[in-house]
């Protein structure tokens, strides 16, 4: 039986990249597997977070995930800090992982930069908390993007070393789940830059909270080149904006790039943009409406998360009991 664990950092400004690159794939997973979706607020505080904002973005993310189609009744959806097992197992893993392993993590090097002496200890230990997230549920599969593959490798190393050190097969070695269809959505202003919540221009992204008029306007203003759309995928080489908009169009309509080109290849951008706006509004309109409803009812969202937290805690309990017994902690 496959059990999936997926973590996502709470952040505001959810956009089309988050939806097509992550959420849409998770929505598909829930029909096939047992899924645990965790909003990792404890990872978030490895760098400074304004407390009120952290609470708000956690709710916002929950609303976005539910609006995107993740069913909180069918899956386990919660925020990390509700379940003490994450912190408890992370401590054990801090004592299993080696300094040398964490020293090799490229995300730490990137985030710390030249400021190594001054970043939090939590930022260094981040991968051990991530290993704990996954292994507290003995999850077997983890959907990850390129940037998180190294952390998943470390999770496997931690699981393996724990099992070997204590001579017991406690943990599975979790496998990455790579989506063949995951879309990398680029900025509407620059086809070579990722669509990102931190881009200063709001015209660079389509937010999950944008209304239909805003979506259409942003697509009309999106950067293009002077030529019509190509009639083959090879024709996209060297045309990052055309490739991006076509990729978005295909993903919104659940088509392959070839199918999308068969559909709209050869059109001038002005015509294509109208079709793209229609597709975006059709997909995001209902999500947007549901998000608005959920944002206006935070108590309802909190209630769902509380239930998710209770389900998660019940799943982690036997694993933590086993770990503490194996490690040799006296629990009189």
Residues marked active site are found at 111, 194, 197
Is beta strand 34-39 parallel, antiparallel or unpaired with respect to 175-177? Answer: unpaired
Report what 94 binds from ligand TRP, ligand AMP, none; CB cut-off 5-8 Å by kind: none
Q: Does residue 40 belong to the site contacting ligand TRP (CB under 6 A)?
A: yes
Burial class of residue 14, CB neighbours in 10 A (0-12, 13-18, 19+): buried
Q: What is the smallest separation between the CB atom of 299 and ligand TRP, expressed in angstroms?
A: 27
Q: Per CB under 6 A, which of residues 179..208 are in contact with ligand AMP? A: 183-185, 194-195, 197
- The alpha-helical segments, DSSP class H, found in the chain are 16-18, 24-29, 41-44, 51-68, 85-94, 99-103, 106-112, 121-135, 149-166, 212-221, 240-252, 257-264, 269-295, 298-327
Rounded Cα distance between 173 and 160, Å, is 7
Q: What is the smallest separation between the CB atom of 40 and ligand AMP, expressed in angstroms?
A: 10
4, 5, 241, 247: which one binds ligand TRP (CB under 6 A): 5
Q: 């290993």: which residue's tokens?
A: 131
Contacts of 101 (CB under 8 A, 6+ apart): 127, 154, 157
Q: Does residue 58 belong to the site contacting ligand AMP (CB under 6 A)?
A: no
Half-sphere CA count of 133, side-chain side, radius 13 A: 30
Q: Does residue 26 belong to the site contacting ligand TRP (CB under 6 A)?
A: no
67, 130, 186, 216: which one binds ligand TRP (CB under 6 A): 130
Cβ atoms < 10 Å from Cβ of 53 = 13
How many residues interact with ligand TRP (rule CB under 6 A)?
A: 14
4, 5, 7, 11: which one binds ligand AMP (CB under 6 A): 11
Report what 17 binds from ligand TRP, ligand AMP, none; CB cut-off 5-8 Å by kind: ligand AMP
Residues making contact with ligand AMP (CB under 6 A)? 8-9, 11, 17-18, 21-22, 145, 183-185, 194-195, 197
């Amino acid at each position: 039986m496959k059990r999936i664990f997926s973590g996502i950092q709470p952040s505001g400004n959810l956009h089309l990249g988050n939806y097509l690159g992550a959420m849409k794939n998770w929505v598909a997973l829930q029909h096939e597997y047992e899924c645990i979706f965790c909003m990792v607020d404890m990872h978030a505080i490895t760098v400074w977070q304004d407390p009120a904002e952290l609470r708000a973005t956690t709710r916002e993310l929950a609303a976005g995930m539910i609006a995107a189609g993740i069913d909180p009744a069918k899956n386990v959806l919660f925020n990390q800090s509700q379940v003490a097992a994450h912190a408890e197992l992370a401590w054990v893993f801090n004592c299993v992982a080696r300094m040398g392993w964490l020293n090799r993590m490229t995300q730490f090097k990137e985030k710390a930069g030249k400021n190594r002496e001054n970043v939090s200890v939590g930022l260094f230990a981040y991968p051990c908390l991530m290993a704990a997230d996954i292994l507290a549920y003995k999850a077997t599969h983890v959907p990850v993007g390129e940037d998180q593959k190294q952390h998943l490798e470390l999770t496997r190393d931690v699981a393996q070393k724990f099992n070997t050190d204590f001579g017991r097969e406690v943990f599975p070695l979790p496998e990455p789940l790579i989506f063949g269809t995951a879309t990398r959505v680029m900025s509407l202003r620059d086809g070579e830059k990722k669509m990102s919540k931190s881009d200063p221009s709001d015209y660079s992204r389509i937010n999950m909270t944008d209304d239909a008029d805003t979506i259409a306007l942003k697509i009309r203003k999106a950067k293009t080149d002077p030529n019509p759309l190509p009639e083959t995928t090879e024709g996209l080489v060297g045309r990052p904006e055309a490739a991006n908009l076509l990729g978005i169009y295909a993903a919104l309509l659940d088509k392959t790039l070839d199918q999308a080109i068969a559909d709209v290849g050869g059109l001038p951008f002005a015509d294509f943009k109208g079709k793209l706006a229609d597709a975006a509004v059709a997909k995001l309109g209902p999500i947007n409406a549901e998000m608005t409803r959920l944002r206006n009812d935070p108590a309802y969202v909190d209630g769902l998360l509380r239930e998710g937290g209770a389900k998660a805690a019940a799943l982690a309990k036997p694993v933590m009991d086993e770990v503490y017994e194996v490690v040799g902690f006296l629990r009189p």
